[in-house]
Structure 1
Amino acid sequence: MATSIKIDDDLKHRIQLLAGARQRTAHWIMREALSQYVEREEARESFKQEALSSWKNYLETGLHVTGSEARAWLDTWGTEQASEPPKCHD
């Protein structure tokens, strides 16, 4: 699928300079930039959807872990006293 985009002269020049410095084509630079942007935005959207799902679950059940409980558990990571994650409660 061929797609075209319009970019201003300044951005075009910056892409060409970067392409030369990286010994890549301007096309490669633009595809890489778009690919990284889409991956980052997909991850952001996934995180948002997971948060909304967690919030919905909390509203339905009231089950939660406090911030201090989570921090205390995380503080044990990588130590000999590593503990199990805290249990959710009302």
Structure 2
Amino acid sequence: MATATSIKLDDELNGRVQHLAEIRRRSAHWIMREAIAQYVERGEQREALKQDTLKAWEEFQATGLHATAEEVDKWLASWGDENELPAPVCHQ
């Protein structure tokens, strides 16, 4: 189900949307709906990352377990090599 909503755009932004719609052979409605969908998707991803980061910080504060930047950098540098290293083990 779709619900109609309205949005007020200033003349300049409206013109830009109209122009993009024309060159992409889409409707202005499609351009705006796609832009909003992508914006919401990125916002949700940022919020999920923020929550994951806060959870990891709380776990670190409770346990002290961590991997150093050096250990992680060494592991990442080995990606794609024949002798790819395993992920570093967390320690105190």
**Short-chain TM bin:** over 0.9
Q: Which runs of 5+ in 1 are unaligned?
A: none
Match in the other structure for 2:11 = 9
TM-score, normalised via structure 1 length: 0.97
Partner secondary structure for residue 52 of structure 2 = helix
Cα root mean square deviation, aligned: 0.7
Residue in 1 that maps onto 2:42: 40
Query: Which amino acid in the other structure matches residue 36 of structure 1?
Result: Q
Instruction: Please tell me whether residue 73 in structure 1 is matched to residue 75 in structure 2.
Output: yes
| 1:62 lines up with 2:59 in the alignment | no
Residues in 1 aligned to 2:26 and 2:87: alpha-carbon distance in whole angstroms? 47
Matched with 1:87 is: 89
Counterpart of 2:10, as a letter, is: D
Percent sequence identity over aligned pairs: 53
**2:21 maps to what in 1?**
19
Misfit runs of 4+, over 4 Å = none
SS at match of 1:5: coil
CA distance in 2, matches of 1:15, 1:4: 15
**Aligned equivalents of 2:88, 2:43: Cα separation in 1:** 31
2:80 and 2:74 map into 1 onto residues whose CA distance is 13
Q: How many residues align?
A: 90
Summarize deviations over 1:20-68 as a string: whole Å, max 9, x none: 0100000000001001101111111111111010000000000000000
Distance, in Å, in 1 between the alignment partners of 2:21 and 2:88 is: 50
